[in-house]
Amino acid sequence: YKYQCTSSILVSVLFQYSLGLNWPTFYVWVQQVDGVWPLPQQLDQSADRNSLSPQRFSFTYGRDSAAQTGCSVLDAAFKRYFSIIFPDFTKGSAMLTTLYSCFVVADNLSVSEGQAVLRSVTVWGALRGLESFSQLVYQDDYGSYFINKTEIVDFPRFAFRGLLLDTSRHYLPLHAILKTLDAMAYSKFNVFHWHIVDDPSFPYQSRTFPDLSNKGAFHPFTHVYTQSDVMRVIEHARMRGIRVIPEFDSPGHTQSWGKGQPNLLTPCYKGDVPSGSFGPVDPTVDTTYKFMESLLKEVKFVFPDSYVHLGGDEVSFACWQSNPNVRTFMEKMGFGKDFTKLESFYMERTSIVWQDVFDYHERIPQDTVLEIWKGETYQAELSRMTKAGHRVLLSAPWYINHISYGQDWRNSYAVQPQNFSGTEEQKKLVIGGEVAMWGEYVDATNLNPRLWPRACAAAERLWSDEEKTLNADLAFPRLEKFRCELLRRGIQAEPLFVGHCKHEYDGL
């Protein structure tokens, strides 16, 4: 994403945060309690504490900072985090004078009473550092603010830390998506995987093919995402250091597409006559590829990320097999009766796809990223896919739309993404993973409680040092504290167990 500031910056926030060329690294000198979620790579705290006065607190760019003339992403973040750190304070002239300040500086780290330094090579690392800083500030029973002297060195373990929302099975209003992005930033997720369309509905409002949503959405006016809605989501995410990767899953999961695009889906046959039902996208006709080329050209224009997820999962071959025109095409192409080859023919040009494409086919571009979703065999899949030289995302153990009684976050926390049979080079091909929240039984009424704080377990697994975070019992107090912090920030995070928070969610 383009942003209005240089990539070399430094910000003072009671700790210094620096990002390397490949991984972010931040150094912090501050004061606090109970730690940060997700756990930093290194965190040392002392009992020494300094008081913070909201009336005399400010974020300031250092004199030697490359961003000292201002950076739109950080300027907005300073205002946002001021409100997060001091939620009960009415601003007024709060940021005119400085008692406890944060500076952006260059090539140095200074810590003294009343001042802290956040150092980062990139704007995105600075955002993560601001989040860590915000979690270090706490209040006593009288409402006074404090921060303990702390030193942090931090960087994420995996580059891709994603969360999937499904907006086809149930429409999620814009405010629910934006709030999810806020909570993602608090947990240091950096990729929003937007499963925007599927069989049940097509809420994406296309300019090129308006009938896709006019006829395929649950409602053509109230249950759609306009181009301006999409732009708002992308900008909201960008300001929080989150990429937006849309998914337009095909050739299966496309029943809603067929309502607005004639002759796209394969007519199913019963004997020698059409049955009146339709199957996956018809891969045997040129019009299919012309349509997909036009649609994806628009999608690539609307969504600036370099990746588009093209799905390719759960394709039923029964309809293709019943259709005489498809069978004739199969014979012409020399595919015999192997319908996986027909899907391969359709899916050859891809970017990110579900694991089915690898399971069924061999002709996959080497730069295709494969996403594992089948839970029982994901270690074996990791081994096979990385052996073939593909980059891989792990999602299978983090399908948290499934729920159970008790602390099921512990199952997510116990996942070890690189624990499979393979060389060190293979394990480097695991570029991250993502939490999936599928929408069969989820809409805006239960989205946040089902997501949070359960998704936080995967967030720490994808960010933190595995050796330091395998003990869920040790993690529980930090997660319990972070859950209370989410409540304070307006996120309806469900309870982990019996207890209470100082700031309970009041629904207002």
Catalytic residues: 314
The H or E element that residue 482 is part of is: helix 472-488
Give how far Cα 381 sits from Cα of 124, 372, 385, 414, Å: 32, 7, 6, 18
Specify which residues 374 forms β-bridges with. Answer: none
Degrees (nearest 5) of the Cα angle 20, 25, 29? 140
What letter does residue 248 receive in the DSSP assignment?
A: -
φ, ψ of residue 220 in degrees (nearest 5): -70, -10
| Contact by Cβ (8 Å): 486, 187 | no
Alpha-carbon span 61 to 102, nearest angstrom: 8
Alpha-carbon span 321 to 302, nearest angstrom: 36
Relative to beta strand 145-154, strand 42-52 is antiparallel
Among 441, 443, 471, CA closest to 457:
471
Relative to beta strand 391-394, strand 430-437 is parallel
The H or E element that residue 118 is part of is: strand 115-120
Alpha-carbon span 369 to 345, nearest angstrom: 18
Alpha-carbon span 174 to 242, nearest angstrom: 16
| Contact by Cβ (8 Å): 281, 258 | no
